[in-house]
Structure 1
């Protein structure tokens, strides 16, 4: 049974909080504490006084209140047991009932006890009986010594948390043996029925006890008495109501939990949990999720906690694709998925000290990906529909659609739905993160004494993003996958390579390059396609002026964009010569455009006056170089010589590669024959070119 939601006086609330009554009343007026005025017989003005809800007090005050109520409950239960050592069996008419365990000479028949209450309950009560028997033996030794018996018995009772009368009662009961010390509950001794309980009264008690808010047994008793008095019914005794409530808790714990604590508590403790059968093949079910490391690293001159986006094979317990970043998002998902579909490259040192490079066929094309309902994994949620229609981000969705991968969404707010990868993240938190510089602990109490991430960052003791990602990859490839897993009883790498795989083969890397690009809708103008304040052009766009197309581009290489029809057919790769020449990326353009809109006039004026101020034009490029990359995908090995997988975009990939080679030859000829055009300072800043 839960803790009571009964009210307490202002004086008691002040005592629990350790402040004055005046401060409590001030908190009531400010709405910081829930309270209401109730009638009382304490002589308060108007016969009413403030009664405070203890559950609206501070955490420490609630803990003190809970301990106080628990102590009161224990005292009441002890007094109840003392006043009702055994009840005569009630007279039952009508329906046949189960017999209780018969008492003979004060002792309960253990076989009958087990038959009525069950073996588990019997063993639990026997443990308590043995404890009582040991206390009785110590008390008898005190009595036999005849030295300060009263004081010593009282001291013994105080030590055990009972009163002296209880000790003497245990001594008397033990004369019939240890079984006489078993708790003689009415549900066991007299069978599962109750004196003075009729169906109507049972309904009333259920109504008041099995209610939201976890009402206390004493409060239920008062409500039952009040209801019976108003309805002209005979009121039950306090002991009867308490025994019936205990009976409900023993026989209907799931119902009591649902009605008193709510659906969430019931789901956690009593709801049937479906057990998912283990996959039969490797890469049959792959789970995806993000995890924030309990480690600080240095990024851009400041301490940050990195993320990993992970794909995890359920059959072999192998991590098969990952990307470490400063912020997990849709782009890291696509990168990790592309990494999942490529072999892994591992560097090892042999016993002879030789450094060797190995290709591990760990990963591949999954049959089903089991993912979260987070915003990164779904692009939209159609609200107002009974059936929620989720869609993954375009890049990840394309990877799955073109490669025939089935997508399954996990149940929201249900940690059991992705238990395998959640447990693996726990392994990372226990085994990998604590070994890294900058570990801050997953809980406040785990935080190292005197830990200061800002100080460590200034001292240069934190790892950079790239080095941290390399250590994480080495831990996975050289430690985790080589050690025996407790559930599958073999090393994850062995289980993964033994297979069989759900889908053999590896996709063409050129196909993955296209699919992991950002996908957007664009319009073709007579001048070409407009993006990043630049025009992209290809001769194939002449016939498409005024039409909508689908473009794909790599944010880290925005000199070219791949053009597709709305239905997915490949058209061409359009380029912007300047952006191609200087290797600009999307982040550069975004940063510069933001700064340029604020300082364009000032920059032009200052550039004419002072060469020193001209250096501000290089700020964005310098910041970018200082901060480094924002995300580090796992290292991939070449698929050359391995079994290829046939996918619908292989032809487009070959066309893109052919056009790229052609453009490189043309660019080489132009660079040799044509002088480079001088850029104005603003363009130079955008393109990251040094003037």
Structure 2
């Protein structure tokens, strides 16, 4: 059991390494006397330490062990000797926003000390007091509670135990200039979604507009569905989606998405975006390893490099996609020690997927736009979209949804009576943009099939009409016209020869007998 030092001093473990080594050196000097009974006068003569000092060390060691041989520092070391109110005044001035210079604080303290009859502190004394203030106290007093929370508050760092348990999303304006469709330089925004367990990037979206619920939804759609690239395997529906508390994450559109897919949203506290360090680290990695090597790169603090922009948004999108697939997801992570893609696949699990891609399109693509199917397809954004399926719906109202990043095709839904898009019909393409064409043979076949279908429906109804009319046909009065159709009705006494031979529905004839009524009526009435 370790002996305690006298006067309630801490044990040996409470001192620094240098203090313990110094105490051990004192014990080595005393060792010949303590273990071999060598007189202290002889020890003092051999080591050059006064005998009186050795006697004091021996008494301390016998009372408290090795810890008692540690050299004590003065209790008031580092403290400036001045009245306590004056010290509190200097500290209060240093902690009051806005931050003041030491020279201003020294002048104010000197003025107060003179008025109170205290000794005026020197500039170095005031500087020492200000310099020794607790940094957390300075952050809270001068920079505010928000800065204090960001730097000094203890944060609980969550860690997902398996892939697709927690995903998180973030936006950032890239330090790079691109050429927009109008030929002007612009800085794009990147939205990325990361798997918390593996650190793998599941999806991303690149836009020239500021962050919105749409950009988040498009990145979420790409993250969930299977990728077209064979080496990018991260997909599935997460259990928890960790989000900021901004309008781009709390929209009703995204809430509908997560409710339908049974994803539990987890929002950070308002004004306290803690817990997103992993996705923010990816953004920094993207900035350093990919963007820094592209033309138009303009980090913070550099001169405006908008004139150096040469990339278009699709070109930058392709470069970012290659970096994620071929570099970031395959490079060992500094914290986990494994490549993100390999760590995501190591779980050997089957990700939960949507029932169909159409369900995902309905939720995550843009807001539905009402359109009418014309004989040449659907007109949208001054472009024409066509598909053979549309031959059955010419003249009908439909709803379309589209991905603003790729308008080569649109998704067409049949509108329900209440105005909602209910049934998925097809994906109509724009031949001018997609490079694909719908052949005349396909159009002709669809058109002929539609015409044949309509004629069949007409024939069926005509047969029913003829059958029912034949069963219920009754002979007409002799004075009535024998043929069917609308005829003018007259009494037998006033019927004129012209009326008996009048054509069906000739309401414009004005030849009547003198006693005939001026208002013409028909026998059907």
Coarse TM-score class (shorter-chain normalised):
0.5 to 0.7
Structure 2 equivalent of residue 509 of structure 1? 357
Q: Please give the alpha-carbon distance, in whole angstroms, between the structure 1 residues aligned to 2:142 and 2:74.
A: 25
Q: From 121, 124, 136, give the equivalent of 1:254.
A: 136
Contact 1:481 1:491 in 2 (8 A): yes
Q: Please give the alpha-carbon distance, in whole angstroms, between the structure 1 residues aligned to 2:222 and 2:118.
A: 72
Q: CA deviation at 1:494?
A: 0.5
Q: Aligned pair in 2 of structure 1 residues 216, 251: CA closer, same or farther (>3 Å)?
A: closer
Post-superposition Cα deviations, 1:582-602, rounded to whole Å, max 9, x if no partner, equal 959xxxxxxxxxxxxxxxxxx
TM-score (norm 2): 0.55
Post-superposition Cα deviations, 1:92-129, rounded to whole Å, max 9, x if no partner, equal xxxxx999xxxxxxxxxxxx9x96xx7899xxxxxxxx
1:286 counterpart = 2:143: no
Q: Please give the alpha-carbon distance, in whole angstroms, between the structure 1 residues aligned to 2:444 and 2:214.
A: 28
Structure 1 residues not aligned, in runs of 5+? 1-96, 100-111, 122-186, 347-357, 378-390, 455-461, 523-530, 543-549, 585-620, 630-662, 675-691
Q: Aligned pair in 2 of structure 1 residues 416, 571: CA closer, same or farther (>3 Å)?
A: closer
Structure 2 equivalent of residue 452 of structure 1? 307
Structure 1 equivalent of residue 217 of structure 2? 334
Q: What is the SS of the residue equivalent to 1:321?
A: strand
Q: CA deviation at 1:420?
A: 1.1
Q: Aligned pair in 2 of structure 1 residues 298, 227: CA closer, same or farther (>3 Å)?
A: closer
Structure 2 equivalent of residue 392 of structure 1? 251
Aligned ranges for residues 513-662 of structure 1 at < 5 Å? 513-519=361-367, 553-554=401-402, 556=407, 560-561=412-413, 563=415, 571-572=422-423
Q: From 312, 316, 325, give the equivalent of 2:194.
A: 312
Q: From 297, 304, 322, give the equivalent of 2:204.
A: 322
1:489 counterpart = 2:334: no
Q: Aligned pair in 2 of structure 1 residues 246, 311: CA closer, same or farther (>3 Å)?
A: same
Q: What is the SS of the residue equivalent to 1:315?
A: coil
Contact 1:365 1:507 in 2 (8 A): no
Q: Please give the alpha-carbon distance, in whole angstroms, between the structure 2 residues aligned to 1:487 and 1:262.
A: 32
TM-score (norm 1): 0.44
1:403 counterpart = 2:255: no
Structure 2 equivalent of residue 669 of structure 1? 449
Superposition RMSD on alpha carbons, in Å?
A: 5.2
Kindly indicate which of the two structures has a greater share of residues assigned to helix.
1
Contact 2:354 2:360 in 1 (8 A): no
Q: CA deviation at 1:291?
A: 3.5
> Greater shift after overlay, 490-499 or 405-414?
405-414
Contact 1:320 1:340 in 2 (8 A): yes
Q: CA deviation at 1:403?
A: 0.7
Q: Aligned pair in 2 of structure 1 residues 277, 569: CA closer, same or farther (>3 Å)?
A: same
Post-superposition Cα deviations, 1:305-359, rounded to whole Å, max 9, x if no partner, equal 444322111211111012334435433322221111112233xxxxxxxxxxx36
Structure 1 equivalent of residue 467 of structure 2? none
Q: Please give the alpha-carbon distance, in whole angstroms, between the structure 1 residues aligned to 2:444 and 2:343.
A: 44
Contact 1:285 1:368 in 2 (8 A): yes
Q: Please give the alpha-carbon distance, in whole angstroms, between the structure 1 residues aligned to 2:444 and 2:358.
A: 17
Q: Aligned pair in 2 of structure 1 residues 668, 322: CA closer, same or farther (>3 Å)?
A: farther
Q: What is the SS of the residue equivalent to 2:228?
A: strand
Computing the radius of gyration from Cα coordinates, the structure with the larger value is 2
Q: CA deviation at 1:407?
A: 1.6
1:214 counterpart = 2:129: no
Q: What is the SS of the residue equivalent to 2:198?
A: coil
Q: What is the SS of the residue equivalent to 2:161?
A: coil
Contact 1:217 1:245 in 2 (8 A): yes
Contact 2:332 2:338 in 1 (8 A): yes
Q: Aligned pair in 2 of structure 1 residues 243, 424: CA closer, same or farther (>3 Å)?
A: same
